[in-house]
Amino acid sequence: MITVIHTEYFKSFTRQDFTLNPVSLLAGPNNSGKSTLLQAVMVWNLALQKWCAKKGPDSGSKAKDRQGAPITRPEFSALPLPSMDQLWTNTHTSLRRGEVEGKTAGSPRPMVISLEGQDIRGVPWKFGFEFRYSGPEQIHVKPLAENIDHLQIALQEVSVIYVPPFSGIGVNETRYDRPYQDMLIGQGKGGDILRNLLLEVSERDDDSWLRLQSIVERVFRYRLLKPVYAGAPYITCQYLKGIPEGRGYGGYPPLDVSTAGSGFHQLLLILAFLFARPSSLILLDEPDAHLHVVLQKELYDQLLSLCRERNGQLVVATHSEVLIDNTSPQNILSFYREPHPLSSEPERSQIREALKRVTALDLLLAEDACGVLYLEGTTDFDLLKAWAKVLNHPLDAWFTTMPFWQNNQGRNPKEARAHFFALKSVRDNLKGILLLDGDNRNMPDRDLSGENFTILRWERYEAESYLLHPGALERFIGQFVGELLAKPAIDYLIDQMPPVFFQNPLENSGFLRAEPAGKTLLPVILEKAGLHIGKGEYFLIAEQMLPEELPPELSAKLDAIAEILL
């Protein structure tokens, strides 16, 4: 079993160690390094095979140190590369000034991938390769000198299959030799060899084929027919949409596998790999793609069963909540922040919520932000932005740069709390602040608050209620229609509001606490003046307000938000 993967300067991993278990789930967002780790193992495996063939003990090589085997780009089937420097971190194949003490700038920057493990008796072993760049079309690989005695153990202990994400299946497929199959796998075209794999299983032994066939029948209620490759240029691989009784097809027309759905293709491809190429290490890249949650659980159970049966090891890159829920935290590697193993149930819950709720932009903003602001809608954001400018508040600059805020879209405030909980898988010290409408007083703060998560509420019914200032409204409407036509709108405001409002419009009266102004008063006031301004444009009113027309509460709210965000 492999216990540690060590990389230096391989793609996005400058220097990183990864600890593996018999079952390891790699969980995290897109482009976080999950597939890169699988590729590192594939590159190591390719280097092992190529070096042994060219310089190994049985290669016939006369070289005493048996080192420096070249691998050309056409031979490099582990992954597609336009140029060999794409393997190196930031494509830097030479050392920069001061990067390594005692090394001059321009010296080769060796890439290293090594694997550590234990054999069946529990004896530890380690074997690694150093990769040197020779040009766009070629690299040289050699074993690390300190590991050379473990070559035979590595060859005996490690056999690898890699199953890429399913990317479609062709209408026709001829028989391909193994090197060409490996090239297609490295290019992520596993579906292009599905029929070849099924043919290999059917020719391997009857038990393997019958077991694969029985899994398909149990999961899909389909009968998979044995592939045929004789008398035609292409492999014929068909299935029946049912399970006939006895011999024959039972009236079901045979259909080509290409006509089935993507979920069937995904499961069938993985099973074909597992039965065609039994290996000690199974690498799966997003096997949950295209699968219903029920099928995800069924597939995962089959994988675990087969691995236990074969005493094998399973490494899965996934976004699936189902797979995460069915794996103990100690077997999950998180790729949020620096890759690290989980240690507790709450951490697993964070990963699950992050995969469900956190976007790529959230991840980018969370890396540098002090905190995140949660609001009930874009109207609230636009109003706060306008008022910050009117008051010349320090938050004015925050609103005009790259503000990290979330639109809770009027949903239950617990949604914001859940999103913040997920974000903490990226930045544990991140702070959050949720500003709620005044109509949310029925939910106690204790149901929402948490570590570094602050709850604020408008004293009035909602943010739009603070636009109700007679002078501000009259001035705003007048600039569009003139003072004369603005009069009916102001008269309507006078009729609707209690007299105390006009004595002190900055006071948070009981009326303003209970009245949804943005739905009842403001639309009618504007219509009375002949203005058709939607809710999304209410910030135009806020922009015209004067500092003395804003209640002290607005400044206090902005101060509280700034304390979190700045």
Q: Is residue 534 part of a domain?
A: yes
Q: Which residue has the tokens 């995460």?
A: 324
Q: Is residue 316 part of a domain?
A: no
- Boundary of a domain, candidates 150, 175, 201: 150
- Domain count for the chain, please give it: 2
With a CB cutoff of 8 Å and minimum separation 6, the contacts of 368 are: none
- Boundary of a domain, candidates 122, 150, 178: 150
Q: Is residue 224 part of a domain?
A: no
Q: Is residue 175 part of a domain?
A: no
> Is 285:162 a contact under the CB 8 Å cutoff?
yes
pLDDT (tens, 9 = 90+) of the chain, 566 residues, equals 999 999 999 999 999 999 999 999 999 988 889 999 999 999 999 999 999 999 888 777 766 556 789 999 999 999 999 999 999 999 999 988 878 877 888 899 999 999 999 988 888 999 999 999 999 999 999 999 888 899 999 998 899 999 988 888 988 999 999 999 999 998 889 999 999 999 999 998 889 999 999 999 998 999 999 999 987 789 999 999 999 987 889 889 999 999 999 889 999 999 999 999 989 999 999 988 878 888 888 889 888 998 888 889 999 999 898 899 889 999 999 998 889 999 889 889 889 888 888 888 888 888 889 999 999 999 999 999 999 999 999 999 999 888 999 998 877 888 898 899 888 888 889 999 999 998 766 666 665 667 789 999 999 999 999 999 988 888 888 888 777 777 888 888 888 888 888 888 899 888 889 889 888 889 988 888 888 888 889 999 999 999 999 999 999 999 999 999 99
Three-state secondary structure readout of 380-404: HHHHHHHHHHHCCCCHHHHHHCCCC
Domain around 75 = 1-18+31-150
Long-range contact list for 405-412, CB < 8 A, 24+ apart?
405/372, 405/373, 405/374, 405/375, 405/381, 406/362, 406/372, 406/373, 406/374, 406/375, 407/375, 407/376, 407/377, 407/378, 407/381, 408/374, 408/375, 408/376, 408/377, 408/434, 409/376, 409/377, 410/376, 410/377
Q: Is residue 393 part of a domain?
A: yes
Cα–Cα dist 290/166, whole Å: 8
Q: Is residue 472 part of a domain?
A: yes
- Boundary of a domain, candidates 150, 177, 210: 150
Q: Is residue 385 part of a domain?
A: yes
Q: Is residue 89 part of a domain?
A: yes
